[in-house]
């Protein structure tokens, strides 16, 4: 077996596009982190495939440009993604953040932004890929659930992991309470993961993303009763 080489990921520019299909609470967390200075970035475009996505209203409230384009008007995924890439280029986007974007992206988009497309998923991947991940976790009976920020590849919820955070499952949990606790941790780790990528120094070793060269070291979170992130000794 050959050992994969360690490759430093190029430091991207700081202009983000956030791609959404619905509520947009992760979008809001990213915009809030930018506003408070916790994340040094700007959102150049919020894109949605659904006109009724609530997150579009959030984008407008924060004064961020939006674009909506239904995939239905396109003959296939590649043609749709080519149009999205054109839009992203027009808005001088450096990094693409999927945040509840309910579409699988094709190589057309991934090749246009190599190592620069991120997604957040409400489970500790590779467990519970696909829809309703927190329901899957509760029904399976795991004691620790969580969320993952990962680089996107062509397969659903399977690209290299950048950050994860764990959330303890309580006996009293329902689908809703667990999903909500995971979501509040998502709001912490997504801006943080984006910051790690933007600050540069991340390295790839096969599937592994090494954080030790990054400006901020960010160990995976440990579970706590409240589901919030504890303070780590660095």
- DSSP labels for 61-118? HTT--EEE--GGGSSSHHHHHHHHHHHHHHTT--EEEESS--SPPPHHHHHHSTT-EE
The minimum distance between CB 24 and ligand GRF, in angstroms, equals: 5
Name the one residue in this structure whose structure tokens are 């991207």.
12
Residues in contact with ligand GRF by the rule CB under 6 A: 20, 22-26, 55, 99-100, 120-122, 183, 186
3-state class of 3 per DSSP? Answer: coil
Which of residues 8 and 174 has its CB atom nearest to ligand GRF in the complex? 174
The minimum distance between CB 89 and ligand GRF, in angstroms, equals: 24
Which of residues 27 and 197 has its CB atom nearest to ligand GRF in the complex? 27
Q: How far is CA 22 from the centre of its chain?
A: 14
Helix, strand, coil shares of the chain, percent, nearest 5, are 30, 20, 45
Would you call 121 a catalytic residue per the annotation?
yes
Q: Which residue is catalytic, options 71, 121, 187, 205?
A: 121
Q: Which residue is nearest to ligand GRF (CB)?
A: 100
Which of residues 13 and 22 has its CB atom nearest to ligand GRF in the complex? 22
The minimum distance between CB 182 and ligand GRF, in angstroms, equals: 7
Which residues, 6+ apart, have CB-to-CB distance to 105 below 8 Å? 81, 98, 117, 152, 154
The minimum distance between CB 28 and ligand GRF, in angstroms, equals: 8
Which of residues 85 and 99 has its CB atom nearest to ligand GRF in the complex? 99
Ranges of beta strands (E only) in 99-200 are 117-121, 144-151, 161-168
Q: Would you name the residues annotated as active-site residues?
A: 121
């Amino acid at each position: 077996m050959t050992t994969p080489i360690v490759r430093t990921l190029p430091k991207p520019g700081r202009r983000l596009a956030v791609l959404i299909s619905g509520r947009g609470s992760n979008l809001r967390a990213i915009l809030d982190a930018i506003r408070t200075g916790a994340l040094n970035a700007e959102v150049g475009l919020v894109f949605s495939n659904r006109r009724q996505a609530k997150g579009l209203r959030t984008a407008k409230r924060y004064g961020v440009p939006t674009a909506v384009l239904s995939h239905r008007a396109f003959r296939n995924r590649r043609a749709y993604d080519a149009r999205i890439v054109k839009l992203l280029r027009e808005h001088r986007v450096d990094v693409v953040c999927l945040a509840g974007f309910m579409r699988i992206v094709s190589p057309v988009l991934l090749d246009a932004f190599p190592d620069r497309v991120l997604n957040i998923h409400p489970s500790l991947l590779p467990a519970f890929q696909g829809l309703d991940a927190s329901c899957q976790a509760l029904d399976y009976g795991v004691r620790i659930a969580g969320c993952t920020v990962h680089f996107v590849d062509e397969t659903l919820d399977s690209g290299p992991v950048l950050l994860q955070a764990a959330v303890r499952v309580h006996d009293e949990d329902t689908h809703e309470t667990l999903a909500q606790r995971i979501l509040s941790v998502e709001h912490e780790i997504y801006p943080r993961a984006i910051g790690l990528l933007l600050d540069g120094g991340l390295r790839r070793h096969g599937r592994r993303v090494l954080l030790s060269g990054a400006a901020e070291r960010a160990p995976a979170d440990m579970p706590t009763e409240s589901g919030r992130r504890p303070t780590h000794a660095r």
